[in-house]
Amino acid sequence: MEKKIETKTQELIRRLKYNKSALFGLVIVIIIILGALLANYIAPNDPNPSPPELANKLKPGFWSEKGLKGVPLGTDSLGRCVLSRIIYGSRVSLSAGFVAVGIAMILGITFGVIAGYYGGWVDALIMRIVDIMFAFPALLLAIVIVAVIGQGLDKAMVAIGIVYTPQMARIIRSSVLYIKEMEYIEVQKAIGSSDWRVIFRHVLPNSIAPVIVYGTLMLASAILDCAALGFLGLGAQPPIPEWGAMLSKSYSYIISGAWWAATFPGIAILFSVLGLNLLGDGLRDILDPRLKT
Amino acid sequence: MKWYITKRLLMLIPVLIGVSILSFSLIHLAPGDPAVTMAGEHASTQTINAIREKYGLDKSLPIQYWIWLKDALHGDMGRSIVSNEYITKEILERFPNTFELTIFSMVLAIIIGSIAGIISASKQYSALDYSTMGLALFGVSMPVFWLGIMLMMVFGVYLRWLPIGGRIDIAISLQQVTGFYLLDSIITLNFKAFISILRHLILPSVALGTIPMATIARVTRSSMLEVLRQDFIRTERAKGLSERVVIYKHAVRNAMIPVITVIGVDFGLLLAGAILTETVFSWPGIGRYVVKAVGMRDYPAVQGSLLFFAFMFVMVNLIADILYVYIDPRIKV
């Protein structure tokens, strides 16, 4: 059993090597993960110095002679180092994305498996609820959930997790429906395996490919939506160095010429989302050719 | 066809009921007494009691839902806590702004996106193909709010070519007829206003239209490539038809079918994107309205906009589905 898993992983790595865009995405994702893990070591400055160094506010970076030494990407309106905040921000955005997708996975897999495996009225009920949730644009639904449960980063993660649940449930359900019809599942049932055993030992492990693929792509949108909520002032609250919130606090200063504080956090969002999208697309092509569009 | 539309409309009923229940529940899920929530924190006991009476908040939930639904169907969603105006009125005032923005973005996205996709496919693996698809890749990963800020910075602040927000220059007066600015300026033959409105539309539409533009370009390209591989295209080439006729007259027509579906899906995303774009460009639409309402805890206003947005979203998807069948008769209905 163990050997087989290893060869599958090896095959994945081998095929990843030939998929240049996926490889590029993987490199970006690794850089961001490293940035998040090593933020303490690589960030040149404290992302939240207290008291704030207001004398250094909105100073340009390396491109200008007026720039401060040791602040490569300039400072924001409270004199904080933009680069350091972006590096620490990768921690916030990545963990927010992971938590949101984690919530969506736990709920989505639970409801998807129940709907797909048991069928009947349970399936019908769950799928109608999914339909109803699909009737709202995802970001709007997240905003409304935040309106109910309150603002803040943790609440935003929960809101995004809930909003992504129906998508995950649908994917899992269709995967379960496909596997359920396989002969070996029938054999399992015939020899008297319990539903739990069939689900955990056979159905779920076989649905892992779409979970990985859509989980990666979902992570990209979760980071984007989390930044959007932060930008709207409904997600991460100051002084948390969250990319979207950083943008919303800085973009009014572009009129006075301080373009850097609003520009670089956006580039960080763009590249994280791009990297995860490329990786997700690549994984989809490799792991599940049936899903190829 | 008729049967398909009927079936599709019938399927809408449970969804719309669910949507209304969800919107209704909002006020009860929010912390605190719904009557106080609806009246606003600083309302007098008298007002709170009046609201409790009007919405039957002392009655059971199903009865409350029924009262609320009946009012909503009659166009009464209650009053905003913040402005004390009727929410239906506030939404309808803002709707034309969101409508003009989304339509303009979509038209932009469809024209540029499909042309880029067609050219890319007809010159597969060329430098042009690679650069177009590279751009499209960035496009689909774009945070629209950031793109809006960047466009505003470059074209508004530095180059000073275009205005950075609002709908029209303050100095220009426009007679309101329909509420749709662009339409009103045409009806009243106000050329100066027309130009100003158009200039204000460009940056927000480009920002909002980028993601659908990129997805349309990608789908058009792959769909074109699929069609170009088919036998009838080979036959036409063999017949000696020029490449231009083959591509533009025969391939494009077949390749656009999947693009229609994408346009339908993207339209919904556009509504969500409008929330962000309108915030960046101080655009007086429903998106900005809902963000403000959430920030102010104006629950009735959030409820109303939620219902309105969902209704629009469902309708757009319905139209896309019907259009899809209409365009591609091969789909069995």
Q: What does the alpha-carbon distance between residue A109 and residue B115 come to, in Å, rounded to a whole number?
A: 40
Q: Are A284 and A292 in contact (CB under 8 A)?
A: yes
Q: What does the alpha-carbon distance between residue A26 and residue A258 come to, in Å, rounded to a whole number?
A: 33
Buried/exposed A47-80: b ≥16 CB within 10 Å, e otherwise: bbeeeebeebbbbbbeeeeebbeebbbbbbbbbb
B191 or B328: whose pLDDT is higher? B191
Residues of chain A with Cβ-Cβ distance to B140 below 8 Å are 277
Q: For residue range B153-211, list pLDDT tens digits in order.
A: 999 999 999 998 888 888 888 888 888 888 888 888 888 889 999 999 999 999 999 99
Question: Does residue B186 sit at the A interface (CB-CB below 8 Å)?
Answer: no
pLDDT at A292 over 50: no
Q: Which of the given ranges, A111-125, B72-86, B314-328, has the highest pLDDT on average?
A: A111-125
* Element housing A285 (H / E): helix A260-287
Instruction: Name the one residue in this structure whose structure tokens are 């670089």.
Output: A264
The helix/strand/coil state of B90 is helix
In terms of DSSP H, where are the helices of chain B?
2-29, 34-39, 45-54, 61-73, 87-122, 127-140, 144-151, 181-187, 191-228, 231-239, 243-244, 252-280, 286-295, 299-327
- Can you tell me the mean pLDDT for A78-94? 92
pLDDT at A41 over 80: yes
pLDDT at B328 over 80: no
Q: Which two tokens stand for residue A291?
A: 């899903």
ipTM above 0.85, yes or no: yes
Buried/exposed B57-71: b ≥16 CB within 10 Å, e otherwise: beeeeeebbebbeee
Q: Do B145 and A262 make contact, defined as CB atoms within 8 angstroms?
A: no
pLDDT at B285 over 70: yes
Q: For residue range A179-212, list pLDDT tens digits in order.
A: 888 888 888 888 888 888 888 888 888 888 888 8
Chain B nearest-CA distance from A88, in A, is 19
Q: How far is CA A14 from the centre of its chain?
A: 25
The helix/strand/coil state of A212 is helix
- Residue B222 makes CB contacts below 8 A (sequence gap 6+) with A293, B121
- Can you tell me the mean pLDDT for B217-246? 87
Secondary structure letter of residue B164 according to DSSP: S
Question: Does residue B18 sit at the A interface (CB-CB below 8 Å)?
Answer: yes
Residue-level pLDDT at B199: 93
Q: For residue range B60-99, list pLDDT tens digits in order.
A: 888 888 888 888 888 888 888 888 889 999 999 999 999 9
Question: Does residue B14 sit at the A interface (CB-CB below 8 Å)?
Answer: yes
- Can you tell me the mean pLDDT for A204-230? 91
Residues forming beta bridges with residue A75, ordered by sequence position: A81
